[in-house]
Structure 1
Amino acid sequence: MQNDEELFWQEMRDVTPMARASRVRSTAGERSRDASLQERRAAAVTEKAKDDSLLSDRDDIEGLDPWYVLDFKRPGVQNGVFRKLKQGRYEVEAVLDLHRMTVEVARREIDAFIKDSQVLGLRSVMVVHGK
């Protein structure tokens, strides 16, 4: 019995490659393509800057009751550490007060505050918000 490669070459022995058509490079519309390319690059950079934010602008998220308690614990965080954090038993290393800020300014400030806190290695920070 013949192997697959021999069978393949038997079937392909009378096949001839297709002739390639010559390609012509057109310079018509090159300026408009360059302008379009620059616009797309600028848009990509702008969109990238938007994606760097830690906060979202989603309008489809439903609001919660003001008394609803939100909490989140990453896997690996000990229950005792999480409980002490919720009880405020760790020293707060930095505070950001959002009172009298517009939503846009507050978003920028929170984003910068969290990034700066990570760079400085702060482990317990507080964001004061609402009334």
Structure 2
Amino acid sequence: MKFKDANTDTTFLDAMKDVTPLKDKNDKYTTRMQGQHQQTLAQQLKREALLKASRGEANYLSIEKVTPVDPLDFIGYKKEGVQDGVYKKLRLGQYAMDSTLNLQGMRFEEARDAVFDTVTENHKKGIRTLLIQHGLGKNTKPFPAFLKSYVNQWLPQMPEVLAFHSALKPHGGLSAVYVLLRKNADQKLANRELHRKK
């Protein structure tokens, strides 16, 4: 086979003698580039965490020792000052659920961030009630009802949460909780204005 050069005829092999093969995917250059990308992603996550912290949104939900609950236990809580009638209505699922968060299948850190972010964002938006599906976790490690136990510990730590209680069967039963959030600043102002006009 002949290859036509500008000045002379040479064989194909002669023309290709100074061509170097493509580098393997696993060579040092590619690995270095992947490392740089991973470092950039880690830096980005760190920047996002710092930004959240600067806005007062650092996730303070505890990762320390938790008191385990049984997968088939009811869980519930209400802050001091929450009226019994309001809590009863929540327990009976009589509030419309404006938002739902499904934690099932999430890793621990993902679930922790999801609870924190969902409650915080819903409170800002003025959403008052939500459903969190934590699952029963009968076979979870290191102990049964692992996420359920942490949800039971996390929710009372959040100032936005007024009360929560295990859901009724149509909404997931013992694998989910109804959560009642306090009014945000705008809702409180609107409420004061309404009472002032009366």
Q: Place the TM-score, normalised by the shorter chain, in its bin.
A: 0.5 to 0.7
When residues 70 and 54 of structure 1 are mapped into structure 2, their CA distance, relative to the original with a 3 A threshold, is farther
Q: Distance in 2 between matches of 1:83 and 1:100?
A: 30
Does residue 76 (structure 1) correspond to residue 109 (structure 2)? The answer is: no
What does residue range 84-103 of structure 1 map to in structure 2 within 5 Å?
Answer: 84-103=89-108
Q: Which has the higher strand share?
A: 2
Q: Distance in 2 between matches of 1:130 and 1:92?
A: 18
Does residue 58 (structure 1) correspond to residue 74 (structure 2)? The answer is: no
4+ runs of 1 displaced by more than 6 Å? none
- Any gaps of 5 or more consecutive residues in structure 2? 1-48, 137-198
Counterpart position of 2:126: 121
What's the Cα RMSD here?
2.3
Counterpart position of 1:67: 72
Does residue 112 (structure 1) correspond to residue 117 (structure 2)? The answer is: yes
TM-score normalised according to structure 1 size: 0.56
CA-to-partner distance for each residue in 1:23-70, whole Å, 9 max, x for gaps? xxxxxxxxxxxxxxxxxxxxxx97x94x932421102x3312223322
Letter aligned with residue 114 of structure 1 = V
Q: Alignment partner of 2:100: what SS?
A: strand
| Equivalences, count | 84
When residues 74 and 125 of structure 1 are mapped into structure 2, their CA distance, relative to the original with a 3 A threshold, is same
Q: Alignment partner of 2:77: what SS?
A: coil
% identity of equivalent residues: 31
Q: Distance in 2 between matches of 1:90 and 1:100?
A: 27
Q: Distance in 2 between matches of 1:117 and 1:100?
A: 22
Letter aligned with residue 69 of structure 2 = L
Q: Distance in 2 between matches of 1:53 and 1:111?
A: 7
TM-score normalised according to structure 2 size: 0.38
Structure number, greater radius of gyration: 1
Q: Distance in 2 between matches of 1:97 and 1:66?
A: 17
